[in-house]
Chains A and B, each alone.
Chain A
Amino acid sequence: MSAPTSPARADAALEGETLSVQLAGDWLITAPRPGWLAALAGRTPKRVVLGSAGLGQWDSALLLFLFEAQQWCRIAGAHCDTKALPEKIHALLRQMSTSHETSVPFDRSENFFTAVGEATLDIWRKTRVFAHFIGECVLGAVRLVKHPKKFRWADFVEEMQLCGAMALPIVSLVSFLVGVTLAYTGAIVLRQYGGDIYVADLVGLSMVREMGALMTGVVLAGRTGAAFAATLGNMKANEEIDALETLGISAVDFLVLPRLLALGVMMPLLAIYSNALGILGGMAISMKVLSIPPAAYWVEMLTIVDMSDLLVGVIKAVVFGLIIGLAGCLRGIEAERSAAGVGRAATSAVVTAILLIIMADAVFAVAFDILGL
């Protein structure tokens, strides 16, 4: 819009019970303008006559003023005379009045019972969708075993690269620091009893049985799970998943299985790598702070950590990997077809994966205790 050359004015003059308002200058929405109440200046005329003799440029700013004037007249019972205004303005004012009268706010609020009911139905629906999705994945896995040539091996390798090799730096850093933290924390207690050397047992056992798989799972939930959800959510928004379905290609076989298997394979490898880095972190602190030689640390650790512990960690890692893959892919496929929907899917994938990992870890703790592992 052009810059106003003369400011907007509403010159009002009261003659008897008639208020004449002459509109002049440029009335632009991005520039200051007089309000109707300012023009009225507390007067209560029975008739208002609006004129536009000195009017320059105008846009919606003028309409707002005139609409306010009309509204005031209606409420005050005054006659509003706009005959002197151009027809264009009349047409727009009519449009504005109509839109004002016909626009009814859409009430989205719901009462407590409806909200509870809706939430319950939503939980039921989500549970069914999750079960259906797992079923689809199992059927997809059966198809993969029957027809391995049809599997997207190239995608599988690429996903392994993306979720495995590319995650090494962040997994390294997190795992090393977890090892350091465990060693420091353990040292505080163990030192008091002269059992510094048992820091090796603490760090080793914690990393191999618990923290290696858990920390890798949390890192991958944030890194890979969110990426799966965002990618699949975007594909859904672009109707790419619809295109697969209409071509008779299962979206699960094409998109989900390669990702799921890639995580299932890479998670245990990353967890073992994480164990090594965590132990290294603990070893570094033991050497620097507790003056325990690396060889002594290693030998001590091997007295308590054995293959069954490593197996426990690996089993957990495989399950955590599948959980992350399932949560990421399900949330992506279920995403709403909008930018906000994709964002929500990514967030939900991370939250779901971490929640399920923690729950699964607790189940594993009880199960392995019963099994004596």
Chain B
Amino acid sequence: MPNSANASDSPAIEVTGLTCGYDGQAVLKDLSFTVKRGEVFFVIGGSGCGKSTLLRHLIGLNPPLAGTVKFLGQSFTTADLAARRKLLKTFGVLYQGGALWSSLTLRQNVALPLEEHTTLSAREIDELATLKLAQVGLTGFEDYYPAEISGGMKKRAGLARALSLDPSIVFLDEPSAGLDPVTSRKLDELVLQMRETFGTTLVVVSHELASIFGIADRVIMLDRAEQGIIAEGPPRELAERSRDPRVIDFLHRSDRPAAPAV
């Protein structure tokens, strides 16, 4: 979350000519986009368009078939092991189901990255883990195991873990999926709070319209047939001005659907 008086001007994320896929088969081709520092940036699109695939390639879980990804001006895709390890500390990831380690309590889940990457004392780590969990509204649940809490709480605990090292960039994979509207709204507020307080850059993979229109500064929309980006810009602007029927369909899908003729 570093607050910076004189941060460098390089974008938080710079993606150039990125081709994502598995076993040599491209799912997304030649993607290029940048995410500014402190921006809430959404990757949107229908199911199966490659949103999560893009996320996996951005965070280095899958090697790209072509292209580069830069974080804060430093190449992530071509970085050697030491540089990569350093860059890994610049971002945190909230996975779809929280991905909490089931054998550890919530406090231990949040503390583990701090134990691995800092020289803080056990007491300090404990204080910080407690704070992070309090920030996501999980005070009193520090010593619970993931199996003992609800799905929404797991996501919030996953977010606390993603924030444990105070990263400059946080990736969130479908943060609202499976959550009730109130919890989803609270998560959105938390995202905005993180940006306002710490200037964190947030990359959110989602297809929840309420979140997209509620908190996104800018979005890119992916399409399965196109295997790439079909729209880019602020969501309201896209909803009002885009003439692409795929974009219109997606961003106006909250309109009451007509029953198909039988």
Q: Which residues of A come within 8 Å of B, CB atoms?
A: 1-3, 26, 28-30, 32, 55-60, 63-64, 67, 88, 91-92, 95-96, 98-100, 102-106, 108, 336-341
Contacts and interface: CB of A to CB of B under 8 A. Distances in A.
B127 to A, nearest CB: 6
Interface stretch (B134-142, B180-188, B242-250): B134-142
A67 to B, nearest CB: 7
Contact of A63 (B5, B86, B118, B131): B131
Given A64-B128, A88-B3, A99-B130, A337 B147 contact: yes
B198 A1 contact: no
Given A59-B198, A338-B147, A339-B102, A95 B134 contact: yes
Contact of B6 (A29, A56, A88, A99): A56
Contacts of A337: 147
A280 to B, nearest CB: 44
Interface residues on B, range: 35 or more
B8 interface: yes
Contact of B5 (A29, A32, A55, A103): A55
A90 B223 CA distance: 45
Nearest to A71: B127
Interface string B161-178: 000011110000000000
18 contacts: A1-B165, A1-B167, A2-B90, A26-B2, A29-B118, A56-B4, A58-B3, A60-B131, A64-B127, A102-B139, A102-B140, A103-B130, A105-B142, A337-B147, A338-B147, A340-B102, A341-B102, A341-B147
A213 to B, nearest CB: 37
Which of A29, A30, A108: most chain B CB closer than 10 A?
A: A29
Secondary structure call for the B interface: loop
Secondary structure call for the A interface: mixed
Nearest to A97: B131
Contacts of B167: 1
Contacts of B158: none
B202 interface: no
A106 B89 CA distance: 30
Contacts of B114: 29
A2 B127 contact: no
Nearest to A96: B131
A32 B119 CA distance: 8
A1 B143 contact: no
A338 B7 CA distance: 42
B5 A57 contact: yes
A1 B102 CA distance: 28
Considering the complex of A and B, which 6 residue pairs feature the smallest CB-CB distances, nearest first?
A99-B134, A106-B143, A59-B166, A338-B102, A57-B2, A57-B4
Contacts of B134: 95-96, 98-99, 102-103
A95 B135 CA distance: 8
A361 to B, nearest CB: 35
A56 B4 CA distance: 6
A92 B163 CA distance: 14
A58 B127 contact: no
Contact of B165 (A2, A26, A30, A58): A30
A100 B90 CA distance: 27
Which of B3, B8, B147: most chain A CB closer than 10 A?
A: B3
Contacts of A103: 130, 134, 139-140, 142
A126 B36 CA distance: 57
Interface string B1-19: 1111111100000000000
Interface string B116-134: 0111100010011011011
Given A103-B140, A108-B143, A92 B103 contact: no
Contacts of B165: 1, 29-30
Contacts of B72: 2
A59 B72 CA distance: 17
A88 B93 CA distance: 24
B197 interface: yes
Given A1-B165, A105-B142, A338-B146, 15 more contacts: A2-B2, A2-B72, A2-B90, A2-B168, A29-B120, A29-B165, A30-B118, A57-B7, A59-B166, A88-B197, A98-B139, A99-B134, A106-B143, A339-B102, A340-B102
B3 A57 contact: yes
Contacts of B124: 64
A99 B147 contact: no
A91 B184 CA distance: 24
B33 interface: no
Contacts of B133: 99
Nearest to B193: A91
B6 to A, nearest CB: 7
